[in-house]
Structure 1
Amino acid sequence: MRAIVVSTPGGPEALQEREVPTPAPGPGELLVDVAAAGVNFIDIYHRMGRYPLPTPFTPGTEGAGIVEAVGEGVTEVSPGARVAWAGPLGAYAEKAVVPASQAVAVPEGVDLDVAAAVMLQGMTAHYLSHSTHQIRPGDTILIHAGAGGMGQLLTQMAKLRGARVITTVSTDDKERLSREAGADEVLRYEGFADAVRALTGSGVDVVYDGVGAATFDGSLASLRPRGLLALYGQASGPVPPVDPQVLNAGGSLFLTRPTLVHYVATREELVSRAADLFTWLASGDLKVNIFQRHPLADARRAHEDLEARRTTGKSLLIP
């Protein structure tokens, strides 16, 4: 089968298409014929070695497809089932082995490419808006990178929960996309903290920041007293060490660095979050903007576009 392999961490050129043996599912595992794989910043971190992995490896932590075979002990999933997942490596391939415990059923009303596009970002947006900070009607929130795939999903979920949503973007075209997703106010990055204060008076209840180093200080300055900064990513680079006294000076602020694995720690929680996503997708309450569909061989270009911020929605690889 064809797969993308990283033998030595590095730039986009480290993504090499190769013929590799088709894997066999072990106990508790599924062999899935991959219909689509999501492209995410964590894949870039894996490729670069920022999150070190044993080499060689096949990137991709998000996908959807049809179960081809099941391993010993798997009784709840049968060949032919439609499934999606986020977490296990190996989605950049024609076939992937996925633990059955981490796969969720995709209902017939949801296309497999849409399921692949929503698992990681959609589940992240779900836990951020429903658990890290339980958005309530009347909350005012700030979402960075509002035109990205993640930003658009989080904006929609926040509006479903009754929030006033402020976003940041870098261009007029991205502002249009963010407003189409439901943003009430759209700002440019330069001077955004002062603009947030001008709009709100006391600051926002929560900032959702996936940008990291470039926005961190301004994110803290945008919060009301006892507000929360949810730093869920670092697209611009990691944040330097923080003196906790900064949180005191800002008004007894809260800071968290959440990640998806801790919010789907049980099978029940995983299935519940996925069920909400698929229900909203089927009803039209949640829309996924698939910006690009690349053939598997174009994984390098997909990474280059994502790193250069040329994407305004989700990128997929189609084996």
Structure 2
Amino acid sequence: MKAWMLDEPGKPLALRDEPMPQPRRGAVLLRMEAVPLLSYTRAYVEGKLPYAFPPGPFSPGTNGIGRIEALGEGVFGFRKGQRVAVNPYWLADETVNEPEQILIGLTGISAGGAPMLADFPHGTWREFAEFPASTIVALDGLDAMPSSRLAALGKLLVPFGGLRRGRLAAGETVVVNGATGYFGSAAVLAALALGARRVVALGRRAQALAALVESGQGRVSPVVLTGDGARDVAAIREAAGGGVDLAFDMVGHATDANATLAALRSLRRNGRLVLMGSMQVELPIPYGEMLINNWELIGHFMYTRADYLTLVALVASGQLSLDAVDVTTYAFARLEAAIDRAGSAQGLQCTVVLSDGEGAQH
């Protein structure tokens, strides 16, 4: 089979012939069909990110859509030929307070995650890939949807998990900071699907926010940030029609905390703030304001298996449409070009590599 291999960070990617894997006990073998690319993929393969890489040559790649080619012993709930999604967030299935965790095909997370990286080093950039059965999600009920479109689930999943952790309820108002980014734009779609009455989308580019307003069908209000804290808070509250129930921070690599603090201060009393972004500076928490307003601050990483199943159910039922995501597809052999495209994509755009090459636009 063909596989894209990275010998070590900073070395060129290579498309090679690799032995066909066989699924071990508790694992499944997938024939990959569609793989979405993260916006920072180029920086990752060049070794510019402080990540813990698998040992030796490996195939990167996190999320993806595939069909089960073979089942290892001890796998009971899946069947051969079934279409599934890859969930790269793997937690060791052990009854301990803090199980080890990694992102398959990307990085270790916990201090003791190195053995997990060594056990399943390969991600989704290969024609056939083996994964623990616990990281596979059934896509039953979505047979009519092309895999290239379903690959957008990986874009929605991260913010969806954060919004669920923040207990977003139908009828509430949510403000999304970083709404024009890769995950922030998806957070707007996810909040609408979860029943938000109003989504206030924060960003610095009016044109990028306009696409989100269109997708919201009257329930999305844009606010172009100015950097003036008091002015931005007033604008958010005006767009929301009062204090916000939930603030969701998904801003990437911010170098100041002004927008996050504006989102916090737009909350009504008893409001919640979920932090899922990658801000590069300290967040100065206003102790007295937190206290007097009963605000709740929630740091959150990734999502749960239940979140993924709920997301799939919303798509299958028609309550969440993936059509708002602008998917651009590339053939498997053109991975390098796809990586470049992913790095320049904005907002609701998503770059997907098709392992079988069928229907690829590039």
Indicate the TM-score class for this superposition, using the shorter chain for normalisation: 0.7 to 0.9
Amino acid at match of 2:130: V
1:19 aligns with 2:17: yes
1:94 aligns with 2:150: no
Q: CA deviation at 1:15?
A: 3.3
Structure 2 CA distance for partners of 1:151 and 1:209, relative to 1, 3 Å:
closer
Query: Which of these two proteins has the greater Rg computed from alpha carbons?
Result: 2
Q: How many residues in Structure 1 have an aligned counterpart in Structure 2?
A: 302
The aligned residue for residue 92 of structure 2 is: none
Which of the pair is proportionally richer in helix? 1
1:146 aligns with 2:183: no
Q: 2 CA distance for matches of 1:19 and 1:117?
A: 28
Amino acid at match of 2:62: T
The aligned residue for residue 2 of structure 1 is: 2
Paired residues for 1:128-143 under 5 Å = 128-130=162-164, 132-143=165-176
The aligned residue for residue 148 of structure 2 is: 113
Amino acid at match of 2:79: S
| TM-score of the aligned structures, taking structure 1 as reference length | 0.81
Q: CA deviation at 1:38?
A: 1.6
Q: CA deviation at 1:152?
A: 3.9
Kept in 1: contact 2:191–2:199 (CA 8 A): yes
Any idea what the Cα deviations from partners look like across 1:65-94, whole Å, max 9, x if unmatched? 111111122232222111112213211111
**3-state DSSP of counterpart to 1:84:** strand
Q: 1 CA distance for matches of 2:129 and 2:274?
A: 32
Q: 1 CA distance for matches of 2:347 and 2:17?
A: 29
Kept in 2: contact 1:85–1:103 (CA 8 A): yes
The aligned residue for residue 50 of structure 1 is: 50
Any idea what the Cα deviations from partners look like across 1:70-127, whole Å, max 9, x if unmatched? 1122232222111112213211111111111111111224432333220x33322322
**3-state DSSP of counterpart to 1:67:** strand
| Structure 1, 299-308 or 173-182: larger mean CA deviation | 299-308
The aligned residue for residue 250 of structure 2 is: 209
Q: 1 CA distance for matches of 2:59 and 2:136?
A: 18
**3-state DSSP of counterpart to 2:232:** helix
**3-state DSSP of counterpart to 2:286:** helix
| TM-score of the aligned structures, taking structure 2 as reference length | 0.73
The aligned residue for residue 251 of structure 1 is: 290
**Match 2:330 to one of 283, 294, 316:** 294
Structure 2 CA distance for partners of 1:199 and 1:290, relative to 1, 3 Å:
closer
Kept in 2: contact 1:35–1:66 (CA 8 A): yes
1:124 aligns with 2:158: yes
1:231 aligns with 2:267: no
**3-state DSSP of counterpart to 1:69:** strand
1:200 aligns with 2:237: yes
Gaps of 5+ in 2: 89-103, 106-122, 356-362
Q: CA deviation at 1:128?
A: 1.7
% identical aligned pairs = 24
Paired residues for 1:38-77 under 5 Å = 38-41=36-39, 43=41, 46-47=44-45, 48=47, 49-54=49-54, 55-77=56-78
Q: 2 CA distance for matches of 1:189 and 1:15?
A: 39
Amino acid at match of 1:231: L
The aligned residue for residue 260 of structure 2 is: 219
Kept in 2: contact 1:290–1:316 (CA 8 A): no
Structure 2 CA distance for partners of 1:306 and 1:169, relative to 1, 3 Å:
farther
The aligned residue for residue 317 of structure 2 is: 283
1:175 aligns with 2:209: yes
Any idea what the Cα deviations from partners look like across 1:232-255, whole Å, max 9, x if unmatched? 232xxx523445xx3315534544
Kept in 2: contact 1:159–1:165 (CA 8 A): yes
**3-state DSSP of counterpart to 1:282:** helix
RMSD of aligned residue pairs (Cα, Å): 2.8
**Match 2:224 to one of 159, 177, 188:** 188
Gaps of 5+ in 1: 265-269
**3-state DSSP of counterpart to 1:197:** helix
Kept in 2: contact 1:137–1:162 (CA 8 A): yes
**3-state DSSP of counterpart to 1:220:** helix
Q: 2 CA distance for matches of 1:213 and 1:170?
A: 12
**3-state DSSP of counterpart to 1:191:** coil
